[in-house]
A and B are shown apart, each in its own frame.
Chain A
Amino acid sequence: MRVDIKSVAYAFASQDVNVYFPDGEEECFMIEKLVCTKCDNFWHTSLMECYFCGELNYYLYECTNCKSKYSITNSSKNCLNCQENNSLIKACINEKCPTNQNEQLKELNKKEKGVFDLTSSLNLSLMYCINCGCPENKYKTFRIFVYNDEIENNFEVFMKRNEPFLNINDIIVFKKHNGILKYNFSKIKNTPLTLPTEYKFKEIANLVENILKL
C-alpha cells in the first residue's frame, strides 16, 4: 500500500476509528465504527454496565461499611474514613440497584468484590447507548480513497484508474499541501465529482467527524 494512503489511514486510527487495509489491489482503506442505531453515538463494547440495573462503571471503590468512595488507582483495600479492613469493593453507584438493596444480592456483591470487579459476574458489556439509552447498535463503514495533490496531477486519470474498484458509497479524501496540510472529502455518488475549490479541514479530527456524520 502507498505510504501516503497509510499515513491518512493512521490519522483516522488516531481518532478512535477502526481501520482495515485491503488484502487486494484497491488503493484505499476501510473505516468502521460500531454506533447506536438511534443517535449514531459511538458504541463502546469495553465499557461495562451493571447486570441488575444498567448503571455504568465509574471506576470507583466503595466502602461496604461507611459508603466512602475512592479511585480504583488507590492501592489500599482498607477504608481511610472508617478504618475498616478489606471493605472496599467496586460497587454499583446506584443506591437503588438491587445489588445494593436485595439482601442476597448484597451478599453476592460482597463475595464478588463488587459489580465491577474484573472477575465479577454482575456486569455486562454495554447494553444501552451511553447517550440516548437505545439498546441497538450497528456497524458504520466507509471505504476511503485518497487524492493527494503531491502524487496525482489529473483527477480524471485518478478516477479512471480507480473506477473498477469504486462503489457509490465510497469517499474520496482530497489532500492539499500548501505550506500546511488541508483536507476535504466527497462521496462518490455526488455527481458530477470534481476537485474541490475549497479545502475546509485543517484538522484530521474534523474531517473524520464530518465523514462519520454521513
Chain B
Amino acid sequence: MFPKKIFEDIKSSDFQKHNKKQVTEDFVTENFKACFWNVYRPFNDTGIDLIATKKVCPNNHTQFDDNTISIKKCPNCHKEFINIERFIQVKTREIKGEEGESMFFGYTLKSKDFRTDPRHIFLFYSDATNDFLIVPMFDYLQFFHQKEIGKSHFGTPSFRIGNNKLNSLKRNEKSIWEWKGRETYSFMQFLNEKGMELIVNPNYDLKLNDYISKITEMKFDLFYDYSAGRQIDKSQQEVFNQILQKQVKQNLKDIAKKRVERRKKLIKTIDNQLVISIKKYFEKFKNFDFQ
C-alpha cells in the first residue's frame, strides 16, 4: 500500500493551513524513504520541497519500492544501476465539498513553477483521503497540451498574475480522480503507485535532452496561447495571438542580442543614479552583468 499512514498519532484535521506544511512534507519524505529512496530536504526556500534519488536499472526493471541501496547491478538484466533524481514540489490541500459527492482539490501554479527539466515532479497530496497524485512535468504539460483544455489553465491573465486557483481536479463520489472541465478526463494514471511507477522510469534521465526539448515546445505552445479572460474584447484575442506568435519566433532567434542593444540604449538615456539603482536590484541575480 502506498502511501502508508506513517504518523499514527495524527489526523489531517489536526492541522490547519498555516501549520501543515512541515508535517505534510515530512509525510511525503517518510513515504519515499519507506520505498528505499534517498531524500534530501532544502535548507532554504527553492521551490523544491524535496529531492528524491534512487539507484535503478537503466532498462526500467526496477520497481518504485525495490530495495536497491546495497546492490549495484540489476538482478534481472545485470546492467549496472544508474542514479536517478526527482525534484519534487509538494502541494498539500484538503479537498472541499460534500462527503459522498464530488469533492475538489484547489491549487495554484505560477509561471515560475514550470521549469523545462522532466525530473521536476508535482506531487498533489490530498491529506484527508491520503492520496498522492504524482505528476512529472512532461506528463502534466502533455495532459493539457493534448486535451484542448490548456488555454483555460495557462493562457489566462490570472495564470500570469499567479492567482489562478484551479478547481477542476476532483475526486468523484466513486473515489475516482478526474479533471472536470467541459469534458471529464481521468487523473487516475497519476494516483499513488501509478504515479510512482511513472517517476521511477529512468527515461527522463537517459533521454534528458529530448524531454527538455519536448517540454519547452509544449510550454511555449501553452503559455503563448493568449486567452482574453474578462480583460478585453474577445475579438482582439486572435490579434494578440498573432502578435505573440510572430514575436516568439523572432525571440528564439535573437532575444539575447536585442536585450543587450536595448539595455545599452537604456543606460545611455538615464542618469547615473538610476543606473546604480537598477544595478542594486540585479545584485541578487548572480552571473548577470547589468552593464
Contact A21 B40 (CB under 8 A): yes
| A73, CB-defined interface residue at 8 Å | yes
Interchain nearest-CB distance for B50 vs A (Å):
8
Choice from B87, B251, B274, B287 contacting A133 with Cβ under 8 Å: B251
Interchain nearest-CB distance for B252 vs A (Å):
7
| A79, CB-defined interface residue at 8 Å | no
Contact A130 B111 (CB under 8 A): no
Query: What 1/0 mask marks residues of chain B from 279 to 291 whose CB sits below 8 Å from any chain A CB?
Result: 0010011111000
| A84, CB-defined interface residue at 8 Å | no
A124-B111 in contact given A23-B40, A104-B232, A164-B70 (Cβ < 8 Å): yes
CA distance A130 to B287 in the complex (A): 9
Q: Which residues of A contact B236 (CB under 8 A)?
A: 104
Choice from A20, A37, A58 contacting B212 with Cβ under 8 Å: A37
CA distance A18 to B47 in the complex (A): 10
Which among A136-144, A152-160, A195-203 touches the partner chain?
A: A136-144
CA distance A94 to B212 in the complex (A): 29
Contact B231 A108 (CB under 8 A): yes
Return the chain A residue nearest B83 by Cβ. Answer: A167
Which among B95-103, B124-132, B155-163, B183-191 touches the partner chain?
A: B155-163
Number of A-B contacts (CB under 8 A): 174
Choice from B51, B69, B257, B278 contacting A30 with Cβ under 8 Å: B51
Q: Which residues of B contact A121 (CB under 8 A)?
A: 157-158, 160-161, 229, 231
Q: Which residues of A contact B111 (CB under 8 A)?
A: 124-125
| A13, CB-defined interface residue at 8 Å | yes
Q: Which residues of A contact B1 (CB under 8 A)?
A: none
| B33, CB-defined interface residue at 8 Å | yes
Q: Which residues of B contact A149 (CB under 8 A)?
A: none
CA distance A56 to B17 in the complex (A): 35
Contact A26 B38 (CB under 8 A): yes
Max chain A CB contacts within 10 Å: which of B39, B213, B256, B269?
A: B256
Contact A138 B41 (CB under 8 A): no
Contact B117 A137 (CB under 8 A): yes
Q: Which residues of B contact A10 (CB under 8 A)?
A: 43
Contact B112 A20 (CB under 8 A): no
Interface residues of A in 9-68 (CB under 8 A from B): 9-10, 13, 15-16, 18-24, 26, 29-30, 32, 34, 37, 41-47, 51-56, 58-60
Extra A-B contacts (8), CB below 8 Å, given A93-B262, A127-B223:
A23-B33, A24-B33, A24-B38, A51-B160, A54-B259, A58-B278, A71-B277, A133-B259
- Identify 20 residue pairs between A and B in the complex whose beta-carbon atoms are under 8 Å apart, listed by A's number: A19-B42, A32-B87, A34-B115, A43-B115, A44-B285, A45-B115, A52-B247, A55-B259, A93-B266, A98-B247, A102-B243, A120-B161, A123-B160, A124-B160, A125-B111, A128-B256, A136-B212, A139-B117, A164-B69, A167-B83
